[in-house]
Structure 1
């Protein structure tokens, strides 16, 4: 067993606080790592405060993890002690259903094992995430990181925000000659802008905040549209190949569906606490438009994303915090008061 220090929520109403527990012993196919950096995702807050009404307490959030390997099992072949690695939103899946066989573990027919808020395969035990000093993870769910040491803190959010935006952009074959909209410039949206631009698309950022225009252009957008301005929206009617909607609050989807060209697709990756208003069916049928959803990415695609980002020198824009600042970070995140992702320096634990 490995002793781990962590920060955990004991209930939906209590702040995260120091917590200690034992990680499992390193098995033949396991990789043990010391956690160096852990990004702060909106899902962490949803889970800690039981906003999705499925939290098992105590809860140790965190699924944007960069660490250093400290031990490997006898059957591990891809990693060695000292390697810098990543762990994302999953730490296991059934490994035998059709999606798992196709490298789509996030869609496991039997349910993947989340990095936190489990349940663990086989035992059903609750899993504890990256707001902790150490982890033990099955080798097949550990990822190689090739970014420079100086970039490692900013790499951490790629393990969720990066793959959440990369996967739908790849699935819908975004590339040169495509006009792509990104709705929202937060933790997800700013990664969507960077990745879509690196793929060669003409990127348009939609925002409700006029003051985000300069940042969006710096990140790679060619145009910025204030979505509250009807004239700006109307100027782009029927013109988009693809729109990636990252907003995690209920809003009118029809306003964006109307911007898609024939056979265009809008994919939702934001997960609001309450449902969006139902779209008007005529927004879809009149141009054979598609409204889709996407959930993170499989391990193979997540590795592809990390390699793509290393090649194109892409990392997240971050603000580093101490572990004991997590509740303040949550409150600031709710106010969109971060550009654009908090990352915990786990040495402060």
Structure 2
């Protein structure tokens, strides 16, 4: 693997990195590339903590290269632009989601689906065009190809909008693609974590009837009174689930733990669609007969392209949609990771990078 020289990456940067599979994060000095002609450089203000960050720092997916600086829910302010940049100017608010590069020439890229490009470059932990490994938003500055930057509307608070760049687009994209965005439709949302609460907010803004499906009865009040869900089902309550069978046009399943799909498929009307956006570590059983008898679909979806992500953030601004967050200082990050592993957060942590990341 090519290594960057001081000349190629002359900009001193600072962040927090994990060095091994313990996942423990600590201060880390590194460097960024100088601003190229199509780049924007920006000061990071806030960065969300995604569950995938936890998997990555602990190498639970077996793909981590250490040291790794996580973070792909990033917002900041542009401090420098390259000579050929047209999308941003100094002082603009900018966001970065899960990707910072793609081939820009394949069929997916030409169709504004950079997220499905075989050569997509993730915001952290993957090889960039110059052979170096990308570093994420648990850091003071970022350098970004302008194409992969998202314009943050003025009326969205920066801390609450950071999460939308991952959790928001992950649920918005399947709602749009699978046609589950029509007013009056009935949508089920499985799981009420970071993804689930965003699914409820977007679906309600689209005019859908929303039922939250959860293993936890104690989430009912939060789902209905705070998030505005219309109904709540306890998935372990067979009587409740039986009563709701054949009532839903679609379901967004955000759960990453192994679980049964059969009861969820049963909730769908004929022609209904169960869309998976959670990523269980082991394969799930897929009963085929209920699909045949109801012409039902089990599908999947993964974030969204840049054009759709911008559309999503503009929709969020129009409808005042932000994530429910707990803002934390940088030196709390290891405790936050421990709490995240126990689902002890409503619904996402956001690191106040600008006010708490102190260089050593």
Q: What TM-score, normalized by structure 2, do the two folds share?
A: 0.94
Q: Which aligned pairs between 1:76-115 and structure 2 lie closer than 5 A?
A: 76-108=85-117, 110-115=118-123
Any idea what the Cα deviations from partners look like across 1:30-74, whole Å, max 9, x if unmatched?
A: 000000000000000011000110001110100000000000000
Give yes or no for the alignment of 1:153 onto 2:149. no
Q: Equivalences for 1:125-136 in 2 at 5 Å? A: 125-136=132-143
Structure 2 unpaired stretches of 5+? 1-9
CA distance, structure 1, for counterparts of residue 309 and residue 202 of structure 2:
13
Tell me how far apart the structure 2 counterparts of residues 147 and 338 of structure 1 sit (CA, whole Å). 27
Aligned residue pairs, count:
345
Give per-residue Cα distances to partners, 1:238-291, cap 9 Å, x unaligned.
121110000111111111011111111101001123332x11111211111100
Which contiguous aligned blocks of 4+ residues in structure 1 show a shift greater than 4 angstroms?
Answer: none
SS of residue in 1 equivalent to 2:14: strand
- SS state at 2:309 partner: helix
> For residues 275 and 96 of structure 1, what CA distance do their matches in structure 2 show?
33
- Rounded to whole Å, the distance in 1 between the matches of 2:211 and 2:154 is 28
Per the alignment, residue 54 of structure 1 pairs with 63
Q: Does 1:24 align with 2:30?
A: no
CA deviation digits over 1:165-213, x for unaligned, max 9?
1000111222212110000000000000000110111000001111111
5+ residue gaps, structure 1: none
**Mapped partners of 1:99, 1:249: distance in 2:** 30
C-alpha contact (below 8 Å) 2:13/2:31 kept by paired residues: yes
**Aligned pairs (5 A) from 1:319-338:** 319-338=326-345
Q: What is the alpha-carbon distance in structure 1 between the residues aligned to residue 243 and residue 313 of structure 2?
A: 36
* CA 78–335 in structure 1, closer or farther in 2 if over 3 Å, else same: same
* CA contact 2:23–2:57 (8 Å) conserved in 1: no
How is 1:252-271 mapped onto 2 (pairs within 5 angstroms)?
A: 252-271=260-279
Is residue 301 from structure 1 mapped to residue 285 from structure 2 by the alignment? no
Q: Secondary structure at the match of 1:286?
A: helix
1:281 matched to 2:270? The reply is no
Contact 1:144 1:303 in 2 (8 A): yes
Give the distance between the partners of 1:241 and 1:158, measured in 2 at CA: 24
Q: What secondary structure, in the 3-state scheme, does the structure 1 residue paired with 2:192 have?
A: coil
Residue deviations 1:141-161, cap 9 Å, x none? 001001436x21011000100
Give secondary structure in 2 for the equivalent of 1:135.
strand
**Secondary structure at 2:331 match in 1:** helix
- Aligned-pair distance for 1:131? 0.4
Give, in angstroms, the shift of residue 14 of structure 1: 4.6
Q: What is aligned with 1:224? A: 232
Deviations 1:223-252 (A, max 9, x none): 011111001111111121110000111111
CA contact (8 A) 2:23 2:54 kept: no
- Give the structure 1 partner of residue 319 of structure 2: 312
Q: Distance in 2 between matches of 1:34 and 1:126?
A: 20
| Contact 1:118–1:124, Cα closer than 8 Å, also in 2 | no
Could you tell me whether the CA contact under 8 Å between 1:245 and 1:270 is conserved in 2?
Answer: yes
SS of the residue corresponding to residue 43 of structure 1 reads: helix
Aligned partner of residue 126 in structure 1, secondary structure: coil
- Asked if structure 1 preserves the Cα contact closer than 8 Å seen for 2:276 and 2:300, the reply is yes
Q: TM-score, normalised by structure 1?
A: 0.97
